[in-house]
A and B are shown apart, each in its own frame.
Chain A
């Protein structure tokens, strides 16, 4: 299995090293990787002094492990990632598979290490935006929500910037427009730059009203939270196991566990579990094989009316209405 140890940054000194790790070389703004194992496009474009973009559109015909080991800590990586197929798995420090990467937007402080596996058969389309913390701080400082706490947010002792999220429909559209553009020539640079500005604008709009949780985070924390999510998903048909057990499994205090879970995923463990239950219940409902009562039993709801109530809260329609609208 190929292992790629690499770093990112706004400055471009990482590009040549990464190309070598990938088994390729740099040609202009492209990283060329010969052969049919991982064909596609890899394009690096400095947008301005504070921002660099890395566009990847690659098909994987072999498994690859990536290990992100940044040497600079002056930037944040914002990763818009549409991956199809068996996708990406998060690894812990001894390379055990922890869980599937279920998010298509992730924000990582350069401080954080990352280890993940991309499985053969996946197609990855990613726009990674590396932005200087000073520039990002400047963006946020103009917002009233951040006025009082902006220094704490960007203080590495008090806080680590990390978030798993879902991209908006506008971000999907932007990614799609870029993907349709031929990856060559100066016009491609216009589209990449335009897409990066659009994605950043959308990211700011989306983030600005989210709750801010200040907490220092290290890689094992992220791995543990992802592991915790994976546990909840594999036990989706059971009752909620409870915070004490989950926190103990994640090797954290209950307070820290709850705070970190919310900070990293934007939801409480309870809400995450319920949302997943409903999403799976909806999928089963769509198969037409079960009655609403049976699905309620299957996923451990108290009774059908409980399921109906939660379903309506989440999707704005009852399961029955939902079925007739299919």
Chain B
């Protein structure tokens, strides 16, 4: 099934800089000062920077334009860290976890992921488009000590008991993080002392924001297998790819995931932080916002019909509830 010229890279992270040797060895990258990776020009332009920020926190920022297709697989490891992933790409990135292809970037919406290093990840970066992403690697004990600030000891212990629970979610990048990351992306260079200090600052603020944010999540204690994750993400991807129709319904989604309705609902909520129908409805409304601003439509009704709402008044009501503003105020008329 692999395309003829598809390059394949397997790697895993470490909290210390030594993981970069894999990229040097397997892609022929140049490693400068043990923190800057420069990829050979025939594979990609650009590179990445890796910094140890504080004991327990490292950051990897990647800014590359690939010239050939590469399948990059992060191999699951029984190491002691979480990975928090932010995709600030210009275009569609096909992002695969296990067997589930899931697009992140402009069209699709879920630019942020939180996962245990023992979960596998595959990325197929777009060819000829700028890929810009940042990863935080956080020592598990350190993350737990930070998260404990916002939870009772009992809940914290349950959440971080790996025999009973897997920490994993996919979501949009929250707006505070997005503002910082977009500003960072405007600086087209990696080098210099002030850039390194800035990257450390951003890594620490992102960590603070994600801890604050996850504290507001309802704790759902569940051990996830790789196939659970793949199966749930298969359904969320299906929904993200089919936002112009009506909600396919819980039974159909549970069947696609190969789970009972009850299990599916719980796992979906654990990973996507919302019920399947709310998730679908919110994604539809987020897409509607883009359509309203696109200048391709004459009026709100057209947008509502495009998105498969048979009743434009109902669409307006939902939109107002989510964004606190009426769609007609956002509409850029054709």
Chain A residues with a Cβ under 8 A of chain B: 138-139, 142-143, 174, 177, 181, 184-187, 190-191, 193-198, 200-202, 204-205, 208
State the majority secondary structure of interface residues on A: helix
Whether B204 pairs with A197 at a CB distance below 8 angstroms is yes
Whether A177 contacts B205 by the Cβ 8 Å rule is: yes
A201, B201: Cβ atoms under 8 Å? Answer: yes
Nearest B-chain residue to A194, judged by Cβ? B204
CA distance A198 to B192 in the complex (A): 14
> Does B193 contact A193, Cβ atoms closer than 8 Å?
no
Complex Cα–Cα for A201 and B203 (A): 13
Which B residues are closer than 8 A to A by beta carbons? 54, 145-146, 149-150, 192-195, 197-198, 200-205, 207-208, 211-212
**B202 CB, nearest partner CB in chain A, Å:** 8
Q: Report yes or no: B205 in contact with A194, Cβ–Cβ below 8 A.
A: yes
* Contacts known (A142-B192, A186-B149, A187-B149); A201 close to B205, Cβ less than 8 A: no
Q: Quick one: which of B146, B149, B198 contacts A197, CB cutoff 8 A? A: B198
How far is it, in angstroms, between the C-alpha of A201 and the C-alpha of B150 when the chains are bound? Answer: 30
- Pick the contact of B193: A142, A185, A190, A194 (CB < 8 A): A142
The verdict on A187 contacting B200 (CB below 8 Å), with A142-B192, A177-B205, A204-B193 known, is no
Nearest Cβ on chain B to A242's Cβ, whole angstroms: 40
Determine whether the beta carbon of B211 is less than 8 Å from that of A187.
yes
Q: Are A191 and B211 touching (Cβ within 8 A)?
A: no
| Given A187-B149, A187-B211, A190-B211, 18 extra CB contacts under 8 A | A139-B193, A139-B194, A143-B192, A181-B208, A185-B149, A187-B208, A187-B212, A190-B204, A191-B204, A193-B54, A193-B204, A194-B201, A197-B198, A197-B201, A198-B197, A201-B195, A201-B197, A201-B201
What are 10 A-to-B residue pairs whose CB atoms are below 8 Å? A139-B194, A190-B211, A194-B202, A194-B208, A197-B198, A198-B198, A200-B194, A200-B197, A201-B194, A205-B194
Please judge, given known A-B contacts A142-B192, A185-B149, whether A190 and B207 are in contact too, CB under 8 Å: yes
Q: Verify B194–A191 contact, CB threshold 8 A.
A: no
Q: Is the CB of A187 within 8 A of B146?
A: yes
- Residue on A nearest B193 in the bound complex, by CB: A139
* Contact residues in B for A204 (Cβ distance below 8 Å): 193-194, 197
State A215–B198 Cα separation when bound (angstroms).
30
**A9 CB → nearest B CB, Å:** 21
Q: B residues within 8 A CB of A205?
A: 194
Residues of A within 8 A of B193 (CB): 138-139, 142-143, 204
Of chain B, the residue at the smallest CB distance from A200 is B197
- Counting chain A CB atoms within 10 Å of each CB, which of B54, B201, B203 scores highest? B201
Question: B207's closest neighbor in chain A, by CB?
Answer: A190
Chain B residues closer than 8 Å to A138, beta-carbon distance:
193
Q: How far apart are A80's CB and chain B's nearest CB, in angstroms?
A: 14
Does B194 contact A197, Cβ atoms closer than 8 Å? no
Q: How far is the CA of A197 from the CA of B192 in the complex (A)?
A: 14
Q: Which residue of B lies closest to A187 (CB)?
A: B149
Q: In the bound complex, what is the Cα–Cα distance between A186 and B139 (angstroms)?
A: 14
Contacts of A174 in B (CB 8 A): 201
Q: Which of B146, B194, B211, B212 has the most CB of A within 10 A?
A: B194
> Which chain A residue lies CB-closest to B55?
A48
List, in ascending order, chain A residues with CB within 8 A of B198's CB: 197-198, 201
Residues of A within 8 A of B54 (CB): 193
Contact of A191 among B150, B192, B208 (CB under 8 A): B208
Tell me the minimal C-beta distance from B6 to chain A in angstroms. Answer: 39
Bound form: Cα–Cα A186–B200 in Å: 17
